[in-house]
């Protein structure tokens, strides 16, 4: 599938982000734990230019725990302070410990000069990784709008996280980077690309191909299909199992495709991670 999507607001986001970044000391980068390589933006390294950064693998509740721990080792080996997190259910203090650790150096440096510094932090990430949910969990009230659709973030204030850290209530939106079609496809599967521009049927076929090789048994268990079949036949089996029927009484493949993707995104298929560090090491 050829996903070639770069909305105008993403170009504007780059300027906006550079402006916001100039006002903060610590950057809390959120990526999707099911996609820790493809849901990070490689341009961020350049943009941050020496700023302290922590990486949270958010939605860890939906990811394969073995993959998450492999990814944590991978990032830590690169000197990146990374931690798993679940913004929708996680304990706020777990993430706070990571942010405090990142802020510590700046606070101590200022203290040596007799200054009580308030470290300013901000959250960044590609669409739909949970930035607003993360900020809301601190704000204690729904001040940043959340939704399971990319691009709904609005808001500009500081939220006090701890004695020495304040968080900007507006997240920095990073543009997804997907010249590589495999990366684009994976981003589409986690909902970082608008569904309207996708071919859902093709996306579902790719997901089926991935699941039957990487997570054998998952499709059989949920939809009672025979995984030795071809991908399109499996989609047909899912449509039958879930009684996806058109008005004309035919099997509705598009409905089955949308259902499968939805069940994957919401974790109903189980804890699945779409990529492992080994792939990145092997190029």
The answer to whether residue 173 forms part of the interface with ligand GTP (CB under 6 A) is yes
Q: How far is the CB of 278 from ligand GTP (least distance, A)?
A: 25
Residue with tokens 């493949």: 253
59: contact with ligand GTP by CB under 6 A: yes
Considering the complex, what minimum distance in angstroms separates the CB of residue 27 from ligand GTP? 15
88 interacts with ligand GTP by CB under 6 A:
yes
Whole-angstrom distance, CA of residue 60 vs CA of residue 56: 9
Q: Contact between 130 and ligand GTP (CB under 6 A)? A: yes
Q: For the CB of residue 90, give the shortest distance to ligand GTP in the complex, in Å.
A: 6
251 vs 64, 86, 111, 200, 268, CA distance in Å? 32, 37, 68, 16, 22
Asked if 11 and 18 touch (Cβ cutoff 8 Å), the reply is no
Query: For residue 140, what are its two tokens?
Result: 């204690």
Closest residue to bound ligand GTP by CB = 130
DSSP classification of residue 251: B
Check residue 73 for interaction with ligand GTP (CB under 6 A): no
Q: Candidates 96-104, 120-128, 194-202, 268-276: pick the segment binding ligand GTP (CB under 6 A).
A: 120-128
- Give the H/E segment covering residue 55: strand 52-58
Indicate the residue among 28 and 129 with the shorter CB distance to ligand GTP: 129
Nearer to ligand GTP, 134 or 210 (CB): 134
Burial 74-95 (b: 16+ CB within 10 A, else e): bbeeeeeebbbbbbeebeeeeb
Within 9-38, the residues that bind ligand GTP by CB under 6 A are: none
Total residue count of the chain as it appears in this document: 283
Answer for which of 84, 125, 184, 237 binds ligand GTP (CB under 6 A) is 125
* Interacting residue ranges for ligand GTP, rule: CB under 6 A: 58-59, 61-62, 86-88, 125, 127-133, 146-148, 150-153, 171, 173
């Amino acid at each position: 599938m050829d996903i070639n999507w770069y909305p105008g607001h993403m170009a504007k986001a780059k300027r906006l982000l550079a402006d916001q970044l100039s006002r903060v000391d610590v950057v809390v980068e959120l990526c999707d734990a099911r996609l820790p390589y493809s849901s990070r933006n490689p341009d961020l390294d350049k943009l941050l230019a020496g700023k302290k950064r922590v990486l949270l693998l958010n939605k860890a509740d939906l990811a394969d725990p073995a993959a998450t721990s492999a990814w944590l080792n991978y990032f830590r080996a690169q000197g990146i302070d990374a931690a798993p997190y679940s913004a929708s259910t996680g304990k706020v203090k777990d993430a706070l410990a990571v942010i405090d650790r990142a802020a510590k150096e700046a606070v101590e440096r200022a203290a040596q000069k007799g200054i009580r510094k308030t470290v300013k932090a901000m959250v960044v990430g590609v669409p739909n990784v949970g930035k607003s949910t993360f900020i809301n969990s601190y704000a204690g009230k729904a001040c940043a709008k959340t939704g399971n659709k990319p691009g709904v973030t609005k808001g500009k204030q500081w939220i006090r996280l701890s004695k020495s850290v304040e968080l900007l209530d507006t997240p920095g939106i990073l543009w997804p980077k997907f010249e590589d079609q495999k990366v684009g496809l994976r981003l589409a599967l986690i909902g970082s690309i608008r569904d309207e521009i996708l071919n859902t049927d093709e996306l579902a076929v790719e997901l089926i191909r991935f699941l039957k090789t990487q997570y054998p048994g998952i499709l059989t268990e949920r939809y009672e299909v025979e995984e030795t079949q071809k991908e399109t036949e499996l989609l047909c089996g899912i449509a039958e199992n879930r009684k996806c029927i058109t008005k004309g009484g035919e099997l509705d493949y598009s409905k089955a495709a949308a259902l499968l993707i939805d069940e994957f995104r919401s974790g109903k298929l189980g804890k699945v991670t779409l990529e492992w560090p080994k792939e990145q090491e092997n190029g």
